[in-house]
Structure 1
Amino acid sequence: MEEIDVAVLGAGISGLQAARLLRDRFSVRILEARDRVGGRLLNHTFANGDTVDIGGQWIGPGQDRMYRLVEELGAATWPLYDRGDNLLVLDGRSRRYRGTIPRINPLALADLGLAMHRFEKMARGLDPARPWAHRRAAAWDAVTLRSWIDSNCRTRLARQLFAIAVGAVFAAEPDDLSLLHALFYARSGDSLERLLAVTGGAQQDRIHGGTAGLCERMAAQLGDCVQLGSPAKKVKATADGRLRVDYRGGALLCERLIVAIPPNQALRIQFEPELPAWRDQLMQRMPAGSCIKCIARYERPFWRDEQLSGQVTSPAGPVRVSFDNSERGRESGLLMGFLEGDVARHYSGVAPDERRQAVLDCFARFFGERARHPLEYVDKDWSSDPWTRGCYAAFLGPGTWTSYGERLREPNGRIHWAGTESASQWYGYMEGALESAERAAREVQQQLERAGALHV
């Protein structure tokens, strides 16, 4: 049986980074369930060679770790197309606007603006490392975001647009989230406005070769310490205090274990002795969002001829937001749309052809009949992915932060927790995944050096 210092579960960007931070000082092994690295980051290549992210893809200002990683790995970024007019498609009519907030009737606009201002002011008062410590945390954690929206938006249109923003950021419904979690999430990424924005916001830049390409470069540096097709099945404490990790096809012994997989996947692993009841209860209360990412390829980005950016907001759905996802330097035009929350849950159970038609019908409503006839189409239902079962990230419902959140990042003996769901900065983003990897690696290094298990 292989004996190592550190085992890492999950070869997503967080697990790979944790291993990179530890590999020069300790023996490390990554166990990945899939036959690929990247986790929730995944590339798709169209027939003409265009590469597109069908998982996480964007980085923006404030995500300094990600920009450093891109530079370190010799990759490059380019801005998402953000020129021309955006569209609000409402009651069968298309209205052009610029910026993040659609141009709507003055009453609804003032209503939405005031609600956004209140939300941002509340979020600014939170410490994202300790959201449960705010003096109003218990009150905010006791209600859903939907309750808050209904109380703070007087017009139906403002409520609709706020809900679309929630879907775009969380891939969930306002009913799913506690108000405290929504405030924390926004604060962890600076502000809700930044999370929604393109230029100057979280959707500003893309990475040449795709984000999964970064993971492939990281894995190449790690070499044979990355083991694919090896889902962990059981983690057992041995008599000498080490951990035995049984996985498909083998087992290993390690001094420390970093779990860098989504909470719903960690629940599938048998622990002996069992994890503390609070940890199990916490992970049960962290369901993943629901998202289907859809991309259509056309001969060229014809919507630009009409000075349109490709960005659309549409309460009618099922595609409620879209973007021009064309690859820089390529001729093809790529339209990308999201199915999120309840819509994603519905279309997850629909035949692929029917789902494709529903998406293209939306694109045609946004950009005309040409959008109904792409050269190629691809979508990715992350809720049906067996090793993910949801995207973008886990969320916390009412009562969870104040009951369990203080111990979210706490190690359980020799078991440490990474992944974007344990981040205090940019929770739910690749930046958060890297931040959590740094923390977990630091915890492990301190403990191993204290124990004298140093392998140079």
Structure 2
Amino acid sequence: MTGQAGPGGAGTTVTRRALLGAAALAGAAAALPGAAADAARRRRHKRKRKKRKHPKRPVHRKPAGARSADVVVVGAGLAGLSTARRVAAAGRSVLVVEARSRVGGRTLNHDVGGGVIAEAGGEYVGPTQDHILGLAKEVGVDTFPTYDPAGSNNLYYAGGSKQTYSDSSPLGTAPPDPLAVSDVAAVVAQLDQMSTSVPVDAPWTASSATSWDMQTLETWLRSNSSGNQRFMNLASVATRAIFGAEPREISLLYTLFYIASAGNETNPGTFERLFDTPNGAQQFRLVGGSQQISLRVAAALGDRVLLGHPVRRVVQTSGGVQVQGDGVTVNAKRAVVAIPPTLAGRIDYQPQLPPLRDQLTQRVPQGILIKAEAVYDRPFWRDAGFNGTTVSDTDPANVTFDNTPPSGTPGILFCFIGGDAARKWTQVSDTDRKNAVLANFATYYGDAARSPRDYFEMNWSSELWTRGCPVGLFGPGQLLEYGPFLRPPVGPIHWAGTETSTYWMGYMDGAVRSGERAAREVLAEL
């Protein structure tokens, strides 16, 4: 998912000026449904309501300069912005408080020059991701196919040898390694079947939830396959790219839920949809980069989005809730905390959160993932019939994709570095890591790959307000015991973020879904 030019650095920082530019592109009316009728709606909502009885809460005086809204949202990623958009469209007042000087959360556009954008964070969309695709359409962001034309080849590199293959085979993007193919086919079929018994809204209630959450994915794989090293290497490559983790770090129940969630209300999830490009989660990209969606929504919200104000404290009050951030205080009737659980746990809550909700935030670490990208004058690998997709047993670049813009130039090749590979290669210098990545690219596609005109990375684990990617992880025992506390509100405090989604957890679609769900919750209480 990501891009960094140095330690702790990021790709292009998008500021308030960029939001104004996005407003000119999108238009407030296009990005915010019913904007013209907001004032009328607000007048209609000024009716008397019966006073509700609440437990006694501390009374906090409104500090000088504090702002007020019906709803305050913490976090201006896709989840938080989706919440705010729906709340505003319903005629309610809303403010979004964001720690960074940009919007977009785990999506980030990086300008490689000449107005060309490469995604340094989440970028792909695909079938059954109806909510992110719907939002993109509403704000005027088009999709285009990931480069994978008919007749092009994927590359598999293992044991020092190259093998080309088509992802139109029954295995999809998974390589047909003769030493692992039978294990891959059998294991994927079994995981898909098991996942059908996992309720996406409550995976901890599955009939086998206890036994599945007592073991890691790796334990199960070794017990249900030949366990040969080539197969286990492929399993690791898959989980590094999908979770930013190794198979030993995630529970079997969590894995099955993740598979089940890779669908929608009418199409059951499958592992193939997670991993594949054709008909999978990597099928399409977004014109102008994925962050463009957040930029356009934020532009429509205008000064309701407050950037550069890390939230330090959330206080329940007699009137609802008070959010205290650096340089800003917001009083509201309801709050939506739309950030990863591990970040939500770093906020000071008064009164303290219920113990099990608090414990949850201590048990869902972010995955570790680096996205490294090389920029060339042209995508030379296409000349040999390659589509840029590589699966490899060699670190650090285990998985690569063609990230070239729709115009065809410049050529951009990126890799994911996740799990053990990320832990190892974050401990070397930036130069050594870059050289290792380019050496891998050259092994796969020839010496021309050693000399890009530009190279950048994003290490999301060094990003202060994300602390890892692509998603929060549940190890053995965690989903069963603490999963039930992911979504339920705590008083006037509601929760959003892709980790709270029932479908497409860990993806942009899950973020949008979670924001829309949180908006429904708060609107029902106002």
TM-score range with shorter-chain normalisation? over 0.9
Amino acid at match of 1:94: K
Show the counterpart of 2:137: 71
TM-score for both structures, normalised by structure 1: 0.96
Show the counterpart of 2:314: 235
Counterparts of 2:102 and 2:428, CA distance in 1: 27
Show the counterpart of 2:296: 217
Alpha-carbon offset, residue 125 of structure 1: 1.8
Aligned pair count reads 446
Structure 1 window deviating more from structure 2 (320-329 vs 398-407): it is 398-407
Show the counterpart of 2:258: 185
Counterparts of 1:161 and 1:401, CA distance in 2: 25
Counterparts of 1:53 and 1:342, CA distance in 2: 23
Alpha-carbon offset, residue 157 of structure 1: 1.2
Counterparts of 1:108 and 1:268, CA distance in 2: 43
Counterparts of 1:135 and 1:330, CA distance in 2: 50
Counterparts of 2:392 and 2:367, CA distance in 1: 20
Q: Select which of 177, 184, 190 maps to 1:104.
A: 177
Does 1:15 pair with 2:93? no
Q: What do the CA deviations read for 1:188-236 (whole angstroms, capped 9, x no partner)?
A: 0011111101011000000011111111100011010000001111111
Show the counterpart of 1:196: 275
Amino acid at match of 2:70: D
The alignment partner of 1:57 has SS state of coil
Show the counterpart of 2:155: 87
Q: Select which of 93, 110, 117 maps to 2:189.
A: 117
Does 1:54 pair with 2:120? yes
> Retained in 1: the 8 A contact 2:319–2:332?
no
Show the counterpart of 2:413: 335
The alignment partner of 1:44 has SS state of strand
Q: Select which of 167, 176, 179 maps to 2:249.
A: 176
Q: What do the CA deviations read for 1:9-63 (whole angstroms, capped 9, x no partner)?
A: 0000110010000013211110000000001100001123320100000000001
Show the counterpart of 2:202: 130
Show the counterpart of 2:49: none
The alignment partner of 1:310 has SS state of strand
Alpha-carbon offset, residue 108 of structure 1: 2.4
Counterparts of 1:159 and 1:128, CA distance in 2: 27
Structure 2 spans left out of the alignment, 5+ residues = 1-65, 168-172, 263-268
Counterparts of 2:180 and 2:280, CA distance in 1: 24
> Retained in 1: the 8 A contact 2:316–2:492?
no
Q: Select which of 123, 144, 156 maps to 2:229.
A: 156
The alignment partner of 1:94 has SS state of strand
Alpha-carbon offset, residue 332 of structure 1: 1.4
Show the counterpart of 1:453: none
> Retained in 1: the 8 A contact 2:110–2:117?
yes
TM-score for both structures, normalised by structure 2: 0.83
Amino acid at match of 1:395: L
Amino acid at match of 2:494: H
Counterparts of 1:348 and 1:12, CA distance in 2: 26
The alignment partner of 2:177 has SS state of coil
Alpha-carbon offset, residue 132 of structure 1: 0.9
> Retained in 2: the 8 A contact 1:348–1:384?
no
> Retained in 2: the 8 A contact 1:348–1:383?
no
Q: Select which of 386, 395, 398 maps to 1:308.
A: 386
Counterparts of 1:437 and 1:32, CA distance in 2: 15
Alpha-carbon offset, residue 103 of structure 1: 2.3
Counterparts of 2:83 and 2:68, CA distance in 1: 19
> Retained in 2: the 8 A contact 1:258–1:415?
yes
Show the counterpart of 2:239: 166
> Retained in 2: the 8 A contact 1:153–1:159?
no
Alpha-carbon offset, residue 434 of structure 1: 1.0
Counterparts of 1:115 and 1:86, CA distance in 2: 22
The alignment partner of 1:52 has SS state of strand
Alpha-carbon offset, residue 360 of structure 1: 0.6
Identity %: 43
Show the counterpart of 1:452: none
Does 1:359 pair with 2:443? no
Deviating beyond 3 angstroms after TM superposition, the runs of 4 or more aligned structure 1 residues are none
Counterparts of 1:213 and 1:112, CA distance in 2: 37
Aligned CA RMSD, in angstroms, stands at: 1.1
Show the counterpart of 1:256: 334
> Retained in 2: the 8 A contact 1:312–1:321?
yes
Amino acid at match of 1:118: Q
Alpha-carbon offset, residue 329 of structure 1: 1.0
Counterparts of 2:158 and 2:475, CA distance in 1: 30
Counterparts of 2:273 and 2:200, CA distance in 1: 16
The alignment partner of 1:350 has SS state of coil
Amino acid at match of 1:179: L
The alignment partner of 2:247 has SS state of coil
Alpha-carbon offset, residue 371 of structure 1: 0.3
Counterparts of 2:418 and 2:200, CA distance in 1: 25
Alpha-carbon offset, residue 153 of structure 1: 2.1
Alpha-carbon offset, residue 351 of structure 1: 1.8
Show the counterpart of 2:33: none
Amino acid at match of 1:186: I
Show the counterpart of 2:366: 288
Alpha-carbon offset, residue 169 of structure 1: 1.1
Structure 1 spans left out of the alignment, 5+ residues = 449-456
Counterparts of 1:169 and 1:384, CA distance in 2: 19
Amino acid at match of 1:248: D
Does 1:142 pair with 2:206? no
Amino acid at match of 1:22: V
Counterparts of 1:173 and 1:22, CA distance in 2: 39
> Retained in 2: the 8 A contact 1:50–1:330?
no
Counterparts of 1:206 and 1:364, CA distance in 2: 25
Counterparts of 2:203 and 2:322, CA distance in 1: 35
Amino acid at match of 2:83: A
Q: What do the CA deviations read for 1:297-340 (whole angstroms, capped 9, x no partner)?
A: 11111111111111111112211000111101142111010100
Show the counterpart of 2:105: 39
Amino acid at match of 2:310: P
